[in-house]
Structure 1
Amino acid sequence: MKVSDWTGEDVVRWLGDQGLQEYCDALRSLNGRALLELGPSDFASPPLSRVTSDGGQQLLERVQTLRLEHHIRVHKNVHNGHATSNGVKANGTPGLSVKGDTGVTNGNGPPKHKTQPAQRNGVRNGALVGNGFADDRHHGGNAWIQIPLPAAGATDSSSRSPLPEEWGRTGVAVLYAVTCFVLTTVMISVVHERVPPKEDTPPLPDKFFDWFDRKEWAFMVCEVIGLLLLALWLVNWALHKHRSIVGRRFFFIIGTLYLYRCVTMYITTLPVPGMHFRCAPKVMGDHMSQAGRVFKMIAGGGLTITGSHHMCGDYLYSGHTVILTLCYLFIKEYSPRRFWWCHWLCWLLWAVGLFCILLAHDHYSIDVVVAYYVTTQLFWLYHTMANQQALKEHSPTNFVSRVWWFRIFLYLEANVQSTVPRHYQLPSLLKRLLRSQVRYSRLADSECP
């Protein structure tokens, strides 16, 4: 069926095949001809302006490709009809003809006049003779070219999905994040041995501490909010259609942030932020005791409310701020824009969580500021590179290709050819579980028609 003959249902089905389901509601009333006429001006006003913030760039690119395919198909039909009328079959296989002053040869029968053998290849206004072309002054007329169809099973780059799952690459990102988290925990144990006693080195002056007195309950509230945001993000991730791509982006970014944190903690050890701190005693080179503390902290997720974190020194920068900020950014980026109420709720939780970190006096203000800056900059830089194909290539003008993790980025994002849409889909395992709950009743023989 030609695109111009599509109905609204065909348009919706095509949007689903292209991974652009967020446009289904807005374009459900359009037919194929109206789809081909979409332009940038249509995205300047509702309802399309509410679907995406990129001005419909991704959809317009797909529509442009659809126009070209439609144009080729229409002209191919015209060409086949003309070829059939001149003795060439519509499928372009047998029956090639060369028409000119020397006569007409039909591939399905004997020549009617003085003819030359039917050629398997040719060009318009000339005929292919032997290994060369004969000029149309000698042979004249028209010759038709047979273009062989691709072999069965052959594929090209256009047939591949622009958003492949590639769970193996996601597994590498998970391993990278786990390694960085374990390394950070080991570094906390090392730095803990270097923290000066609070009696010898008092806390550094902090303007926020001057304005607000410490509240003992504040840090517990911060960790509860962090767990809530993390749970919301995990649900959002589990329901996302392209969870493999989104997951490896999350794990790579959080792993890199914790790797940076290892460096900042080790090179500069700050004194405790308040006299209320009660740090665990130092083990003085007892590696078995250090290893036990590391395993205990990993098992408790590094949280104070689980009783697993009693070491000091992990101040610059704040890991709690990293988790709060990153969960909010991913929820906002990969959930539909119509969930604006959820975005505002997550932003409110994030802001309260950061305020409670400072209100508990468990981190200096500079810890929170640096953590926010590094997290947002890495998130925005990574996603800018992931959504711009030109930034995935080494070139003298592509300065972002000089970051140390660029080769890792290429490994994770090389085959992702478009922006990840905000679309949800139930996991395969959950679908199978839901199907298994369906019960069918057997009709009695007397009830059968």
Structure 2
Amino acid sequence: MMNESNTLTTTIFTGNSNHDIIKDPPTPSVISWTTDDVAKWLASLNLSKFIDKFCTENGIDGLTLLLMKEDDLKQSPLSIKRLCDIKKLWYHIRLLQCKHNDFYSNFDNETAKHNHSSLSPTHLLETNFHNTQCSCHINKEKTVFKTLKGEKRKTFASFIYALIIGIWTSFIMVVVHNRVPNVQKYPPLPDLFLDNIPRISWAFAVSEFLIVVMGTAFLLILMFHKYWIVILRRFFALGGTIFFLRSITMLVTSLSVPGPHLECIPEQYGTTREIFSRWLQIFIFQGLSIHGIRSCGDYMFSGHTVMLTLLNHCITEYTTSDFYVIHLLSWFCNIFGMVLILAAHEHYSIDVFIAFFLTSRLFLYYHSLANNAVLHSVSDNRLSIWFPMFSYFEKNIQCMVPNVFRIPWPLSLIYSNTDDQEATNSIAEFNNDKSNRQRKQQ
């Protein structure tokens, strides 16, 4: 790329037989480029054969480059035939557009911003070109938040909301355990899956291990994601809401145990100290059997499936398509974990199905509302009336949160120093090469 981009001496055909030798690169601001600057730019990319078509025949200047689309290269009057040439030209044009992303902020078309139209070069943000990312991500953050004020406070509020729901759900699990139906009087309900699949004793522990693995992966994503504060807030809001619904469903109806292997005997409520002790154990260890917690009666619906599904959707939503292997593994853990829960006969099939459906639908609906720019307008009060918590958490988010990763602190200090040193060395090397070329020319 260096050899290609630094080849600045070439012949340009302007008119019938006039030849100009170009030795200087075009000026930095693309918007102010003339047709001569565009010619210099094409020459520096070893694309001199298109100078006549671009500059002489069609008078393409810098502003025209910023407004071009890929179809403009294919259609008349340019009508470039070779696919290789179209892709090369479009690649370099997109790089110019992305480096001047602030140019598109002059347009008041909000729909074009939020729908990632072909005019705005937003999809280039997900590429691996460091220089392109630097210029685009700075501008992108301005469009994500209307204002940064209060964002951390909202995330803390979502944490308190999830914490209160966790305390409430743990207490309800103590209540439903004390009123679980006696297995001798109320045998397990008929279930198509449980009645035909033999029980695997270790399957439930493996499903909990998968939850721990996916939770660790999600924490790593949060650590490196630029907009982790929004992701964490949404995770707390969705998790708290789903577990609150779960606490209501298991409180209003007590299902019989799904298998005779579960030694679930209704207990007396006991003293306040005993109730508090059982509640504290469930809350601290999050009801995981690998920590020795055994709870009964909390069947409708599966909390383990909720965590598997929510973590899966967060991992796949907030990583780019380059992480396709992680996406496949995440979905595998989600589906396989649900099968293990059923294989352990710890939940009815309907518990697992409803948990997966409800969690995935709420995740989809929440993000569909959050990514709909029209619903965030000041004149539209429907969200604040019907979904006040959502409106509070998302009112400053203007568009889909881009998946931008950065080096977290304190690693960013090491990374910045290394990056600065590399930049200094590159500039010094470039200046040395330039001096050597000038000596040879003299």
TM-score by length of 2: 0.64
Choose which of 399, 402, 406 in structure 2 pairs with 1:421.
Answer: 402
Query: CA RMSD of the aligned region, Å?
Result: 3.7
Are 1:317 and 2:347 an aligned pair?
Answer: no
Choose which of 174, 178, 189 in structure 1 pairs with 2:159.
Answer: 174
Amino acid at match of 2:347: H
Whether the aligned pair in 2 keeps the contact of 1:280 and 1:311 (CA below 8 Å) is no
Amino acid at match of 1:381: Y
Alpha-carbon shift at residue 435 of structure 1 (Å)? 7.5
Match of 2:129 in 1: none
Unmatched tracts of structure 1, length 5 or more: 9-30, 49-57, 69-157, 441-449
Alpha-carbon shift at residue 290 of structure 1 (Å)? 1.1
Match of 2:376 in 1: 392
Amino acid at match of 1:162: V
Q: CA offsets per residue over residues 390-411 of structure 1, 9 Å max, x none?
A: 2235889x876664xx111111
Amino acid at match of 1:236: I
Are 1:356 and 2:343 an aligned pair?
Answer: no
Alpha-carbon shift at residue 279 of structure 1 (Å)? 2.8
Are 1:195 and 2:176 an aligned pair?
Answer: no
Match of 2:282 in 1: 297
Amino acid at match of 1:177: A
Are 1:372 and 2:356 an aligned pair?
Answer: yes
Name the CA distance, whole Å, in 1 between partners of 2:168 and 2:62.
Answer: 56
Q: CA offsets per residue over residues 163-207 of structure 1, 9 Å max, x none?
A: 355111111011111111111010000111111111111011100
Larger helix share, 1 or 2: 2
Amino acid at match of 1:347: W
- Max Rg structure: 1
Name the CA distance, whole Å, in 1 between partners of 2:217 and 2:65.
Answer: 36
Name the CA distance, whole Å, in 1 between partners of 2:250 and 2:330.
Answer: 29
Amino acid at match of 1:349: C
Q: CA offsets per residue over residues 210-249 of structure 1, 9 Å max, x none?
A: 2211110110111111111111111111110001111101
Alpha-carbon shift at residue 62 of structure 1 (Å)? 6.7
Unmatched tracts of structure 2, length 5 or more: 1-27, 39-60, 73-82, 89-97, 109-139, 422-442
Choose which of 20, 29, 37 in structure 1 pairs with 2:67.
Answer: 37
Match of 1:125 in 2: none
Q: CA offsets per residue over residues 357-395 of structure 1, 9 Å max, x none?
A: 111000000101111111011101110111112223588
Are 1:335 and 2:319 an aligned pair?
Answer: yes
Name the CA distance, whole Å, in 1 between partners of 2:401 and 2:141.
Answer: 18
Q: CA offsets per residue over residues 427-447 of structure 1, 9 Å max, x none?
A: 234434777999x9xxxxxxx
Alpha-carbon shift at residue 280 of structure 1 (Å)? 6.2
Are 1:4 and 2:44 an aligned pair?
Answer: no
Are 1:162 and 2:144 an aligned pair?
Answer: yes
Alpha-carbon shift at residue 317 of structure 1 (Å)? 0.5
Q: CA offsets per residue over residues 26-58 of structure 1, 9 Å max, x none?
A: xxxxx965762244859xx9989xxxxxxxxx9
Which runs of structure 2 are paired with 1:84-163 in the superposition (5 Å)?
Answer: 162-163=144-145
Match of 1:219 in 2: 204
TM-score by length of 1: 0.63
Whether the aligned pair in 1 keeps the contact of 2:177 and 2:266 (CA below 8 Å) is no
Name the CA distance, whole Å, in 2 between partners of 1:240 and 1:395.
Answer: 32
Q: CA offsets per residue over residues 398-426 of structure 1, 9 Å max, x none?
A: 876664xx111111111111210011112
